[in-house]
Structure formats: C-alpha cells, structure tokens
Chain A
Amino acid sequence: MELITDKHIKAKLTQMEQPYFISVKNICLSYNNFPVLENISFQIKKNEITTIVGPSGTGKSSLLYAFNRMTDFNPNVQVTGHIYCCNENYLTTKDIATVRSKFGLVFQKPNPFPVSIYKNLDIPLRENSKLSKTARKEKIISCLMSVGLWEEVKDRLNQPAQQLSGGQQQRLCIARCLVLDPELILMDEPTSSLDPISEAKIEELMVKLKDKVTILLVTHKMNQMRKVSDNVIVFWPKNNKTEVLTYGTVDQVLYKKDNNTFVSQYLNS
C-alpha cells in the first residue's frame, strides 16, 4: 500500500525541479513477470536531446514503448511507476489520446503507411485535430519543410510512400510525429537500418528539431550519441537487472573519474 500518495510527490516535485520537463520515478518493467527494469528514475530536460545508451537487452526500447503506452497491447508486459509530465502521471492516465499525441514514437524500421505521401501525414492530423482542409495542408507542408523533405517530394505528393528511399521514409515518419506537434519525440535507434548519408541527415535533423521539441533517443552508436545528445543516461546490467549507472550531461558522464573500465571502454568506443 503506497503511503505517500501521488499528490505528495507531485507537490514536492513541482517546486523543486521546475526546469525538468519529464521526471521518471522508480519504473519497474517486467516481461511476463521476469523483471527487466527495477525502479529506474531519471529526468529529461525540455528542448534537449537525451540519449539512453547501454548494452542490448537492458530494456531500453521497452521503456521507450512504455512512454507511448504501446505496452498496453502486450498482455505479458507489466509496467508500474510514474512518468510525470505537466503534473500528470502519463503511465496510468486513462486519457491515452493526449499521451500518444504528446509523445511521438519513431520506430527502428521506417514504417510509413501504405498510402500516398500526403495521406501519410493527413490521416493522423485529421484524426487528432479539428483543423480545416487548408489548415491541415499548410501544417503538412511546414512539417515536411522542417524535416527537409519538401523539395524532394513536393511534386509527387500523391505517389505511394513506399517508393521513397529508406532515409526519406524515416524522415517522413518523423514528420508524421511532428504533425501532431508533440512535446517529446521518442526515437528507438532511428538510424540503425539506414545508410551513413541518410543517417547523417537524420542526426542533423535531430539537432535542428531541438528548439521545437524534446527528443529521447535510444541508440547503440556511440559517435551518434556524442555528436547529437546533450545528456546521457547509461543503463547497465547488474545481476540480471538493469539500473541507471550514471546520468548527466555528455561531458560529465564521459570524463567521470571513477568509471570502471568496461563502462569507459563502452562509452568511448
């Protein structure tokens, strides 16, 4: 039985850590009651890129999906804990619609809808907002411009999205999240299935988007982490459970004195 009710934690939180946009408090995630994450806590600053790194299998992507409440469809995943954003626990609220529109999710493999490019953005927009047709068109054009796709696709908007290249498709997915003007974009190894050139474009795009939206990135690529992110959270397995080893700004974490050898090796690879 929880002694401290949500209200207490929320009150304490608001006056102490105002700059923190999202605060994650003791998340426990278990995959058909085999514990993967054990009370993980960290904070995400607004308009900054936070990266979660760590060896594979430590449940990074699982946490990301928990943010967007995708775990509700999987009966054998149990998530408990608090994700506070604008004093609302997003993990347990009933109003999934706002959670999904606030937290956009970009998958590892680009997955545009099997419809035309324009429709790919128009469908979610029409579904989640009451804008008129022309207003929607402007928003879509502005999103396509912000992801740098507009020049490439402006004359073939009605062609199926499958005909775009891998990098373009991933950028279309990012645009699809942007169209709902989210506050946080979750990216699950967005560039792992792309060639280096489009990977560089995506990274460049992430930095550009920083002023509009906060980004939570999960990646294996250390140079990408160094190049792009502002602060880092390191997940490290300890007796088959994952715990947050260190977190802070990139330079704090990288040049910390007492890192054990494996961690520094891993971080500087």
Chain B
Amino acid sequence: MKNKIFILTSWLSFFTFFAIFFAVTGNIIFTGLDNFSFSFLFNTFNNSGRDGGISTIIISTLIIVAFALFVSVIISILSAICIDYFSKNIRITKILKLSIDTLSATPSIVFGLIGNIIFCEFLGLGYSLISGSLTLALMILPIQTRIILIGLNSVPKDIRLGAYALNLKPFTSYFRIKIHLIKKQILSGTFMGLGRSLAETAALLFTSGYGVKMPSSLLDSGRTLSIHIYDLAMNVPGGNENAYKSALTLILLVFIISLITATIQRRFNLGQQEFVWN
C-alpha cells in the first residue's frame, strides 16, 4: 500500500514539474510568439532594443558562453584530477573541497563585483567579452569540478588498483584510462555549466557590459541575451515585448543545444545505461 502512495507521489511530482515548467515557459512562449518574426533574430539593435533585432546579442552570447565553457571544462577536469590525486591526504582534500564548495556557493552578484575588480580593473581588460567569459568560467568551474569528482570517485576500485599494480605514471592513469570513464560526467557537467552561464545576469552586468554592437574582438564589450532581457524588462520603458521575444529565443537556443547533446549522448552511448540484464 505504501508503495502505491510512493509511486503516486513520484508521478505527481513529475506532473507538477511539468505544470510549473509550462506555467513559466508557456508565459514566455505565449507573449513572445505574437508577431515574432525571424527577422527579429537577424537584424540589428535599434531604438534601445524596443523594436530592433538581436543578431549582435546572440553572437556575443555564443562567444562568451563558448569561451567560458572552453576554459572551464579544461580547468575543472584538472582541478577534479588534482583533488582526486590528493585524495589520500585528508587535510589537502578537505581544504580543496571546502574552497571548491565555497566558490560554487558564492553569489552571482559577488562574482559581478569580483569580475569587475579582477578582470576589468586589475588585469585591465575593461568591459569586454573576455572578462565576462572569464568570470563565467570562474562561476561554472566548481559545479563542473564537483560533478567530474563524483565521476572520478565512482571509478571502480579494481581499475584504480589495476593502475597502481601496473605502476602507471599518474599522467597515463588519469589522462589515458580514467578520463574515458568519466566522459558522461564531463558532458553533464559541461551542460550544467552551459545552462548556468546562459541564465547568468548579475555577474555579467558588471563585467561584459552593455555593448550592443557586433563584437569585433574579445576585448569589445558585448551584451548577452540574459542582460538584454534584464535591460528591456527592467530599464527600458515599453521593452517588455522584445524582452519576452529574446527570452523565447534563449529557450529555443537551449532546446536545440539540449537536443544536440542528447543525440551525442545516444550516439557515443555516454548516457547512463538502463538495467540491461546482460
């Protein structure tokens, strides 16, 4: 009998999630779709965003997010390996894990301040795509490290012992053996990083700035989709309509990317296996 209630509640949670999901995205899709023309995606920005297009903004978003992911994937793998490598020494792991967790918990507004100070002023990059993406990389680094660490810890004991038995150098044991085992975690970590960076507003406001022109280099200021939505919704009177349209484009963007990753997962069967009995 308890089992029936449990199954019922889990199905219930499934449907409530979809209810919430369609409440929020439905609102965006519904208001965003009326007289949504594809020219909106391609022509450029004018009249402070009220009736122009968002082509330059989409491009600077993709540049910032791609660069941030690129940087953070490499560094998160390295720091996950570093934590795993020192797992024998309890004290070091404790400090490292503590610092990673605190970094992952730092609020995005504080990252905005810090990014502004470190990248814009201290390193002299000013309001630019690169300082925005580096701040983003710093933000999504801990989440990815954490998930890759879960992967590394779940490497079966016998593979770990096998590597020691063969007296493999740490480089080979990590970069030639274990890395293949954690491909799934790397992918899901990257995807969470992607999701988080596309959704980020507070941090980028103070670092990648407000620029609307087509960025000619990484040192130009560029505005991401979420900042554009923030500015239109909160700052520009009458910007509501375009804010919803940009939110709709953002959701379409993410939908396409998640479809691509789903197919990648299925093709390289990185996805978690079902209970295949043999």
Contacts and interface: CB of A to CB of B under 8 A. Distances in A.
Interface string A52-78: 000000000110010000110110010
Interface stretch (B15-23, B120-128, B137-145, B270-278): B270-278
Nearest to B278: A61
Contacts of A61: 278
B278 A73 contact: no
Interface string A74-104: 1001000000000000000000000000000
B269 to A, nearest CB: 13
Question: How extensive is the interface on chain A, given as a class?
Answer: under 10
Contacts of A73: 274-275, 277
A70 B278 CA distance: 10
Nearest to B276: A74
A71 B277 CA distance: 7
Interface of A is mostly: helix
A73 B276 CA distance: 8
Contacts of A62: 278
A178 to B, nearest CB: 22
Interface in B244-278: 274-278
Interface string B43-82: 0000000000000000000000000000000000000000
A27 to B, nearest CB: 16
A155 B277 CA distance: 35
A65 B278 CA distance: 9
A61 B274 CA distance: 18
A61 B276 CA distance: 12
Contacts of A74: 274-277
Contacts of A70: 277
Contacts of A65: 277-278
Contacts of B276: 74
Contacts of A71: 277
A73 B277 CA distance: 8
Interface string B174-190: 00000000000000000
Contacts of B275: 73-74
A65 B277 CA distance: 7
Nearest to A76: B276
Contacts of B277: 65, 70-71, 73-74, 77
Interface string A198-228: 0000000000000000000000000000000
14 contacts: A61-B278, A62-B278, A65-B277, A65-B278, A70-B277, A71-B277, A73-B274, A73-B275, A73-B277, A74-B274, A74-B275, A74-B276, A74-B277, A77-B277
Interface of B: 274-278
Given A73-B275, A74-B276, 12 more contacts: A61-B278, A62-B278, A65-B277, A65-B278, A70-B277, A71-B277, A73-B274, A73-B277, A74-B274, A74-B275, A74-B277, A77-B277
